[in-house]
Chains A and B, each alone.
Chain A
Amino acid sequence: MEALETIVTWALLVAFGATIALAIKAILSKMHVGLSTTTAAPGVLGATAAFAVLATLLPTSAPIEVPFLFTLALALVAGLLIAWLIRSLVGANDVAGLGLAVLTAAAAMLAAILAGSPSKLVGFASVALVGVFVLGLMGFRSLPSDVARVLPLAGAAITFVGLFDWLQAKVGSPMSRMERLAQSSELESVAATVWAVILAVGGSTALFVLANLLFDRTDKKWSQFTAAAGATIGFIVFGLLDGNRAIQHLGPRDSVATNLHDLINGGFWSLLIVSIIIGSFIGYAAGYAIGVSRDDRSVPPMIGLAIGAGLGLIWGTLFAQRIPVDTSVQVLWNALTGAIFAGGLGYAIGRVDDVKTRAIIGTAGGAGIGLLLGGMLFNNYQPRLETVPLIAAPLILGAVGTGVNQLRGRNLTTGATTGALIGWLLGTFGFPKLGGGPEVETLVATGVAGGLAGLRYGAKPYLNSVGRVNLEQQSRGAIFLIPALSFIATGLVIPLMRTIVLSFKDERTVEWVGLRNYQRIFTDPTSFDYTGRLNLFGSVLFYVAAGLLILGLIGGIAASRRSGNTLGGSGTVLRTIGGFFILLGLLEYVLGRQTIDAEEQLGGNGLAIAVLVATGAAALVASFMRRGTRSAGARIDMAGAPGVVTLVGVFILSLAVFSTVRGTLFNNLWWVVTVTTLSAGFGLAVAVLADRASYENVAKSFIFMPLAISFVGAGIIWRFMYIARDERKDQTGVMNFIWVELGKISTGGTGRVAAIVVLLAILGGLAWLFQIGWATGAKNTAGSAAVVAVPFLWALYRFTVGGGMGGTGTVTDNGIIQDTTIQFLPDNQPFNNLWLMLVLIWIQTGFAMVIFSAAIKAVDTSLIEAAKIDGANDSQVFWKITVPQIVPTIGVVVTTLIVVVMKVFDIVKVMTNGNFDTQVVANEMWQRAFTELNFGLGSALAIVLFLAVVPVMTYNIRTMQKAL
């Protein structure tokens, strides 16, 4: 038996060598350089030397103990034999044959090592490839492009890897004798890192180059393309499945063949027979395909049959013996097996024109490959088939596939087989329980699946030239898309799916609880509390806001009377507002019925409904009344002051609303409204005001700077700014320091006098400005001066007779004067949220400013000049020229800000951790999931946040594609 093993092993090695030799010969002939004695000799010498070294080393690692000389002789003889074969086949001269022989022998060694230690493999592979490389360089000066680029690179890379391996082995051992610090483990970790880098860079580069080479062949060399594509798919599928198995069953494990071996349970001979049968089958199919293409259907199938049977014999024999091979090599071996078979099938399919023949080949070959895969699946993945889904799923999905292709006007068979394949996979691996099923059923499952896949590609109409070019282009796109999509899938889609699933489970994600987590979010008063909504009508802020809104509206209407220019329609706006208010009234009615008792319903609730419905109705009536008189001028013109007043009104309204309806969700919404409007507003203001001013860049840089600070960092900074010390101590927080010092100054001493003088000076200046403005008719100047003067006047009042301002101090029972501090974060709920929002506004204003600044600078100056010539002032230019042109940018900035604000987490986490009524959704999510280990509720919160962000994000991306 041992003799047989030896012979078979060497036969396989020789076959490997032959493959290499053929490939090299192909390269040589592609180079258009005939091998002459002089050019080839040094290469041959080098390769021979390399071979000699290899041969010396071999006996220690060969799978079978063979004396050195015997190995050498056998390899040389085998090489010469192959060389002679090649020469007679391809017609190269003798020297080429000799060189090839040596190389073949070297490759045979390589193959022998394939079954041995992987580490040695690297070393030898590198030496052998250096031989190839040197040979290539010495013999041929003008290399064709593809090869010239790839071969030396591959050679060099592998040489480097080999050298490194050698170095590691060499340096590692003396190191281990040295002291603890210089331990070889450190070197190993460095080595491992370098390895990983080489693998990543080299692997990606090689993949990219290979993929491009592959796609180059799509159009002109179709069968090569299908072969290579098949081989790649086979390599990947087998490698992944097998690698997965290797990972799950760490340690020595079985190969495809040994699994098949166990499966058939008949020992060595039965495996051998099965291998031969499979080999013959595939070989016949391939031969038949070639035969068809050559109009000779008798000879090639027979040759194919013979070759296939032979390969099957070798394969079966080698692996039936359970040669002790390393896991990683075996994974590779199985992957290579898959690549060879799938590649062969691909080649056959690509070669045959006749659809029927191709379908037969595809089905047969696919089934064979499927059987191989089935042999590779280990116990955990073996399904227990169930009759109903097994029959129903393929039938139903097959019918669906047919229907779809009927509608699309495509090939019906393709549709049917695609559907049936998916159905079959579902029926075999989707529905039934996986693991522990009978092996025969596994083989049926994978065999039929493979057959269907083969049929699907075989039965496809032959691609014409246009189709191939399209495929080529699509494929090239896929090179870039696939890595990106796989990153998105692993980093985004899979976690999202998992989170969605978890959100329907209980605390420890064991039991399904349906929508309970979502119900809790919208019923728990800590996250969703609308019971205080009627207090809105008792809030001063609400009436201030209402007043401002009405004022803005009146101003807008007045402005629209004066000028014919417009910004936005009025009828639609009024109708929208009217509908909104009526809806609010209805909502209030429903809520009132549910939550408030009868007496209260008649009070605030009823009043609220009445007010809301009346306002809505009034707006609707107004919108329809305007219909008749609608003309170019009959629109509300919100440009300028009316717009600003309205915006301030909206802001104050948001304060009024969000201080009456509370809870995490409303709080988050409040953040969105406030931070977004203020950041965008301030950003726009700075961008406009600083535009073309002196020191514009310096000013903008300072405003931009906070953007460089992390949210956590900003949170810590501001926490220190807000901090209050005990009232009897010096204040260390900036805010409270100013506050308390202001209190000290305003209540006495020389500081008070100085402050009054300064205030008077400022007021004097403002009065002067006002006077100039008034006199020259510059209403804006006069108005601004008057508005700015108001706080200073108030300060003057407080400093003189008003009893001081700031932390003015209180007298305790003991007669000690205490300065009052402001507890920014714990007190004044819920308005303490504004102090947190300020931090984010501080950061995000810079972002808004930069984008707006760029957009404003992109506005066509000729338009502005034209407007100015027509007599427009700065304000008009801004509102009527600039703003309409940057509307898309405003959309992008606002939506980006909304997304950022919705996700706010760090600032709240650092500054209050959600205490003091400042909770937001992201921090609540963290606390639920990680503090309380309630993953169900945490996931549900994450999903709520996700659902809120998605529409904004979608809009953002669409606008951005249009705008930028």
Chain B
Amino acid sequence: MRLSQWKTLLTLLFAFALVAAACSGDDATDTEAGSESEESSETTEASEEEAMEDDEAMEEDAMEEDGEGHSLAGTTVTVFGSESSDEEAGAMQDALDVFAEANDMTITFTGARDFSDQINAQVSGGNAPDIGIYPQPGKVADFAREGFILPVPEDVVGATAWDEAFLGFGNVDGTQYGMPNKADVKSLVWYQPAAFEAGGYAVPETFDEFVSLTGDMIAAGDTPLCVGIESGPATGWTFTDWVEDMMLRFAGGDVYDQWVNHEIPFNDPIVVEQMEAVVNLWDTPGMVFASGGSIAATPFGDNGQPLVDGDCMMHRQASFYAAFIPEGTAFADGSEDAVDVFYFPSNEGAPVLGAGTLAAAHNDRPEVWAVMEYFGSAEYADARQAAQTERKGGGLSGFLSAAQGADISLYQPLEQSFLDILANAETFRFDASDLMPADVGAGTFWTESTAAVNGDKSVAEAADAIEASWPE
């Protein structure tokens, strides 16, 4: 009896072992035993099927071999970026689908408003997307130095349609890490020509004229500006854009570069002066219409409607803001409610503040590099522009590409004028906060500025705090 019970136990152990074996066997089925098992179990059934099975196996083998040699069929690539509105994210997906369908692969795009936080969590957690679309070259540089993103192979860089100037933003210490795929012109002011005409206002040619124009508007009972800097975790960036434009206008491109590279301290008088100029301008009584009640609580995207409604006369914002102008609004066609832009004026020269996004790869697979190459191509720019224009119902798309060889006919006259501004800029500089280390550019520059705009801190205090946070 005792012996037999002991053996019962052994039997059960063995049975369990078999179950375990059966289950663990499954893993192997995925890789190589799969086709084999199919094959052999079929052999017992019918010879016809066996023959078909062999054909099938042959086909599969052929496909696999293709996979070694650059066929993308059946592969999947994930892309993650900060563009999250229906129009932008939808058009991005549409443009990627064009490439995916041509190659029988799957590309999925996910957009998140708090991309800058989420990508950190994903990357440090080891589950990064295949490709990240970074609005900040500073972040790309940080990640490149941390080893989180991979250098772009020479052939992919060589195939791009973008010129050296833009490629440079994705170049970290001499190695290309990011592929430009979108450009923005930031030194723009949106306005309604009809409203200007009604008030007897003229488009200002210099910054001084711009300031006196706002004074005229206040005197006439109009509100000159719409401003809102709320943007979730990125709250404050609208302010930093203003400061950057002012730096370009009153400190010049060289000082701007020193500022970006921390060759002058952040609380240098010339920087504090520009920050104070913006805060003082906004704090002028009657100057700002903030649809959320206060500047710090108004989402940056909520300024399009008031501009169209005539609650304010002007809104300084980048070219992509076309995507936030209410649907159905006409652009620069001379009609009653049409919205137009003028260049944010400068007293001297014509400096242009720009921005853009960089695609950077987190995983090293042939299909990832194929998609990276696509991002840098004119085909992507065309597909994206076409899709985004369609999604905007034929209006201004909000998308802009400086890729050479792009189909210019896809752009409306106003958009072409943006491209002209880009092409003719005497001084072109990338958004400073996007170039600075993320601790500052996506951190304290935003948060401390928000405090300064909201009046919680003086501008000088905010600048000191930002300087203190600059990483060694």
Contacts and interface: CB of A to CB of B under 8 A. Distances in A.
B91 interface: no
B232 A228 contact: no
Given A60-B43, A931-B116, A125 B11 contact: no
Contacts of B297: 723-724, 823, 825-826
Contacts of B423: none
B327 interface: no
Interface string A210-224: 100110010001001
A507 B2 CA distance: 63
A724 B43 CA distance: 75
Q: Which of A26, A56, A931 has the most CB of B within 10 A?
A: A931
B286 interface: yes
Interface stretch (B128-136, B248-256, B428-436, B439-447): B439-447
B121 A930 contact: yes
A198 B235 CA distance: 49
Interface stretch (A94-102, A329-337, A785-793): A329-337
A118 B36 CA distance: 10
Contact of B12 (A157, A210, A931): A210
B47 interface: no
B6 A117 contact: no
A709 interface: no
Given A30-B8, A812-B286, A826 B38 contact: no
A859 interface: no
Given A29-B4, A118-B21, A823-B293, A327 B232 contact: no
A726 B28 contact: no
Interface string A322-351: 000011110110011001000000000000
Interface in A183-206: 188, 192, 195, 198-199, 202-203, 206
Interface in B323-337: none
Interface residues of B, number: 79
A119 interface: yes
A199 B18 CA distance: 11
Contacts of B365: none
A25 B1 CA distance: 12
B62 interface: no
B454 interface: yes
A263 B451 CA distance: 68
Nearest to B439: A932
A119 B11 contact: no
Interface in B25-56: 25-30, 33-34, 36-38, 40-45, 49, 52-53, 56
A725 to B, nearest CB: 6
B456 interface: yes
A537 interface: no
Give the interface SS of chain A, mostly helix, strand, loop or mixed: helix
A103 to B, nearest CB: 12
Contacts of B221: 814
Nearest to A821: B293
Interface in A639-670: none
Contacts of B5: 26, 30, 217, 221, 224
B126 interface: no
A27 B33 contact: no
A114 B438 CA distance: 56
A114 B24 CA distance: 12
Interface in A539-553: none
A724 B294 CA distance: 8
Contacts of B290: 726
B19 A169 contact: no
Contacts of A57: 40, 44
A507 B8 contact: no
Interface stretch (A5-13, A274-282, A582-590, A911-919): A911-919
Given A119-B28, A121-B25, A228-B9, A935 B40 contact: no
A13 to B, nearest CB: 15
A697 interface: no
A295 interface: no
B289 interface: yes
B291 interface: yes
B40 A173 contact: no
Contact of B8 (A146, A914, A932): A146
B34 A119 contact: yes
A329 B471 CA distance: 53
A170 interface: yes
B33 A118 contact: yes
B293 A119 contact: no
A107 to B, nearest CB: 10
B58 interface: no
A139 to B, nearest CB: 16
A24 B11 contact: yes
B40 A117 contact: yes
Interface string A788-824: 0000000000000000000000001110000001010
Given A326-B33, A935-B124, A118 B9 contact: no
A108 interface: no
Q: Which of A26, A57, A207, A213 has the most CB of B within 10 A?
A: A26
Contacts of B286: 812-813
Contact of A26 (B7, B29, B38, B53): B7
A169 B53 CA distance: 11
Nearest to A827: B294
Given A726-B306, A931-B120, 17 more contacts: A26-B3, A117-B37, A117-B40, A119-B34, A122-B22, A170-B42, A173-B52, A173-B56, A195-B23, A206-B15, A210-B16, A235-B13, A328-B27, A332-B21, A826-B297, A932-B439, A933-B120
22 contacts: A56-B44, A118-B28, A119-B33, A121-B25, A123-B37, A158-B19, A169-B41, A172-B38, A203-B23, A221-B2, A224-B5, A228-B6, A332-B21, A507-B471, A726-B311, A728-B311, A826-B454, A915-B296, A930-B121, A931-B116, A932-B439, A933-B438
